[in-house]
Chains A and B, each alone.
Chain A
Amino acid sequence: MNGVHDMGGMHGMGSIQPEENEPVFHHRWEARVFAVVRAMGAFGRWNIDASRHQRELIPAAEQLRMSYYERWLAGLSQLLVRHGFLSTQELATGKPVPGPMMLAPALPADKVPGFIAGGSPAARTSNSPPRFRPGQRVRARNLNPIGHTRLPRYVRGKAGMVDRVHGVFVFPDTNAHLRGESPQHVYSVRFEAQELWGDVAVPRDAVYVDLWEGYLDAL
Chain B
Amino acid sequence: MTDIPHSREQDRDQGQDHDHGKQRLPSDPALRVMALESLLVQKGLVDPQALDALVEAYEHRIGPHNGAKVVARAWKDPAYKARLLTDATAAIAEMGFGGLQGEHMVAVENTPAVHNLVVCTLCSCYPYPVLGLPPVWYKSAGYRSRAVIDPRGVLREFGLELPAEMQVRVWDSTAELRYLVVPQPPPGTEHMSEEQLASLVTRDAMIGVALVRSPATGELP
Q: Is the CB of A14 within 8 A of B142?
A: yes
> Does B42 sit within 8 A of A, measured CB to CB?
yes
Inter-chain contacts of B32 with A (CB < 8 A): 73
Interface string of B130-174 (1 = CB under 8 A from A): 001101110111111111111110100110000010011111111
Complex CA gap A49/B119 in Å reads 18
Given contacts A8-B172, A118-B99, A211-B174, contact A197 B39 (CB under 8 A): no
Q: Is B26 an interface residue (CB 8 A)?
A: yes
**Chain A 47-91 near chain B by CB (<8 Å), digits 1 or 0:** 010001001000000001101111001001100100001100011
Question: Nearest chain A CB to B29's CB is how many angstroms away?
Answer: 5
Q: Which residue of A lies closest to B42 (CB)?
A: A96
> Does residue A95 face the partner (Cβ distance < 8 Å to B)?
yes
CA distance A207 to B151 in the complex (A): 10
Q: Does B193 sit at the interface, judged by CB under 8 A?
A: no
Contact across chains for A8 and B37 when beta carbons are under 8 A apart:
no
Within 8 A of A (CB), among B51-108: 51-55, 57-59, 62-63, 98-104, 106
B172 engages A207 (CB within 8 Å): yes
A26–B104 alpha-carbon span in the complex (Å): 28
Assuming the contacts A29-B30, A39-B50, A112-B53, asked whether A106 and B44 have C-beta atoms less than 8 A apart, the reply is: yes
Whether the pair B55, A35 counts as a contact (CB closer than 8 A) is: yes
How many Å from the CB of B181 to the closest CB on chain A?
A: 12
Closest to A172 in B: B175
The distance in angstroms between the C-alpha atoms of A52 and B121, with both chains bound, is 13
Asked if residues B7 and A68 are in contact (CB atoms below 8 Å), the reply is yes
A1-25 interface code vs B (CB 8 A; 1 in, 0 out): 0000111111111111111001011
Q: Is A145 an interface residue (CB 8 A)?
A: no
Contact A32 B55, beta carbon cutoff 8 Å: yes
A33 at the interface (CB under 8 A from B): yes
Residues of A within 8 A of B58 (CB): 24, 34
Contacts of B145 in A (CB 8 A): 7-11, 13
Q: Which of A65, A94, A209 contacts B5 (CB 8 A)?
A: A65
Please name all residues of chain B whose beta carbon is closer than 8 Å to the beta carbon of A14 when the two chains form the complex: 3-4, 140-142
Q: Are A16 and B140 in contact (CB under 8 A)?
A: yes
User: In the bound complex, how far is the Cα of B149 from the Cα of A138, in angstroms?
Assistant: 21
In the complex, which of the residues A19, A105, A116 contacts B99, with contact meaning CB atoms closer than 8 Å?
A: A116
- Does A137 interact with chain B (Cβ within 8 Å)? no
Contact B38 A94, beta carbon cutoff 8 Å: yes
**Does any Cβ of A come within 8 Å of B36's Cβ?**
yes
Bound form: Cα–Cα A64–B81 in Å: 40
**CB atoms of A26 and B122 under 8 A apart:** no
The residue that B148 contacts in the complex, of A8, A29, A105, with Cβ under 8 A, is A8
Determine if B123 is an interface residue (Cβ-Cβ < 8 Å): yes
* CB nearest neighbor in A for B33: A29
Q: Is A119 an interface residue (CB 8 A)?
A: yes
**Does B11 have its Cβ within 8 Å of any Cβ on chain A?**
yes
CB distance from A188 to the nearest CB of B (A): 8
Q: A169 at the A/B interface (Cβ < 8 Å)?
A: yes
A sample of 28 cross-chain residue pairs with beta-carbon separation below 8 angstroms, ordered by A number, consists of A6-B122, A8-B172, A13-B142, A15-B3, A16-B143, A22-B135, A22-B136, A25-B133, A26-B136, A27-B27, A29-B34, A30-B7, A35-B55, A67-B5, A73-B36, A91-B36, A96-B39, A102-B45, A109-B50, A113-B53, A150-B174, A166-B106, A193-B168, A200-B149, A207-B169, A208-B169, A209-B172, A212-B175
With A8-B149, A24-B133 already in contact, 6 other A-B pairs whose C-beta atoms are closer than 8 Å: A12-B1, A19-B135, A36-B46, A96-B39, A107-B47, A115-B100
Q: Which 5 A-B pairs have the closest CB atoms?
A: A8-B121, A210-B175, A94-B35, A13-B141, A122-B176
